[in-house]
Amino acid sequence: MLHGRGAIARLGDEVATECRRPLLVTDPGIVASGLHRRAIDSLERRGLAVAVFDRVTHMATVRSVSEGVAAGRAHGFDCVVGLGGGSALAVARGVAIVGAEERPVRELVGGWGAEAPSLRMLPLFSVPTTAGSGSEVSPSAPLLDDELGAKLTLSGRGTFSRVAILDPDLLASLPSRQAALSGVDALTHAIEACCTNLATPITDALALAAMGILMRDLAAAVRGDADARARCLVASTMANQACGNAKLGLVHGLARNVQTLFVIPYGVTIGVFLVPVMEFNRPAALPAFARMADAMGLSRPGEPESSRAAAVVPAVKRLLTEIGIPRRLGSDEVDRSRIDELARMVFARNTPAQLDRAALASVDVGGFAPSPNIRRARYADVVALYERSLVGWSVEGAPPPQTPA
């Protein structure tokens, strides 16, 4: 990781150590803002021939990966530079993997951990322009396959970036709404990493430090404070390092299926499920919640565990309200009659039914949902959480949930 103001200027040096013909993968917003010029200038200063693929959409898709690989082949690319938010970085990783494997994404989706496939990949260099996904330090590329109606995750042993460049100057022109929606993803990575049954003292150290920064600085970062944005950028990277190892819980497990079936911004789906899932988890996770309260600066010395644990959800609600995260999904956006389907998709995760809509009806929903979430959830719990996402949550003294922006 290279970090600091102006660190993007070092991109060319890093790429030039092993490559000559980079493909820059980014989105139209970055090109419109002119930010991509800083990457291109650095690459060209080292005499590298760069081609730009800027057709990344708001959700990373298999289609964008295919188009990116075609653009890369036309250029004769030997590496990929991802520049942008979580979608651009995920598509860049997908392009680097498919570009080397020369097989379709569907054939490359595999297991996790010890079962993860050993995927080949072109050298990947990742440069985030949001404090959010932390994709620059993740091995995964979550991609929507809209023909299949499924989210496929490309992830292998060693599908990490060669180099991640964290340059806070690249966040200067980020609109407030995007800063809020990506920031809530980073906060959720930190909170979920503390609330799985795979959390360790190492992942806790990263997650707790990250959530401390985000709880303190995210509102100022959303308002445009450059120093706060710089701190949140580092926190978003730390949060992903935590959840890359401790994995994620039901917030992402539930939101993923909403992203698959409906067109709603990623950060909105994450923000809407954060509070309900935390409330579901708390009774089963008092020590974790007490540690989170300490990290967020919410507890007094000697205060008992249960009252420390009780302070976390109200503080998260206040922050989400302050930065304008919607408190529910609109009934015009998500059809209540599809809750059973959404819940079945939770149980189909990492089974063949994940890729086969017809098999969804017969998926076994009898036991616990396959998730490392600290409190195990049954089908009825999952349905209740989806219903809760349509009702929303309230803050003491605040007006009822607003319609999502």
CB of 112 to Fe ion, least distance (A): 16
Which CB atom, from 101 or from 185, has the smaller least distance to Fe ion? 185
Ranked by CB distance to Fe ion, the top (closest) residue is 185
Q: Which of 189, 185, 144, 192 is nearest to 268 (CA)?
A: 185
Q: Which of 212, 323, 342, 204 is nearest to 267 (CA)?
A: 323
Q: What are the residues binding Fe ion (CB under 5 A)? A: 185
CB of 266 to Fe ion, least distance (A): 7
Which CB atom, from 138 or from 299, has the smaller least distance to Fe ion? 138
CB of 252 to Fe ion, least distance (A): 6
Longest C-alpha distance within the chain, in Å? 64
CB of 231 to Fe ion, least distance (A): 19
Six token digits for residue 300:
């007094």
Name the packing angle between helices 250-261 and 379-391 (round to 10°).
Answer: 70
Burial of 67 (0-12, 13-18, 19+ CB in 10 A): middle
Which CB atom, from 32 or from 263, has the smaller least distance to Fe ion? 263
Which CB atom, from 96 or from 243, has the smaller least distance to Fe ion? 243
CB of 248 to Fe ion, least distance (A): 7
Which CB atom, from 186 or from 285, has the smaller least distance to Fe ion? 186
Which CB atom, from 52 or from 180, has the smaller least distance to Fe ion? 180
CB of 224 to Fe ion, least distance (A): 23
Which CB atom, from 85 or from 168, has the smaller least distance to Fe ion? 85
Task: Count Cα neighbours of 87 within 13 Å in the Cβ-side half-sphere.
Answer: 24
300 φψ region: left (φ > 0), alpha (ψ -120 to 50), beta (else): beta
Q: Is 301 helix (H, G, I), strand (E, B) or coil?
A: coil
- Cα-based distances in Å from 205 to 168, 241, 291, 292: 23, 10, 10, 11
12/80 Cα distance (integer angstroms)? 12
Alpha helices in 197-352 (DSSP H): 201-223, 226-246, 250-261, 266-281, 286-295, 305-310, 312-322, 339-348
CB of 193 to Fe ion, least distance (A): 11
119/158 Cα distance (integer angstroms)? 8
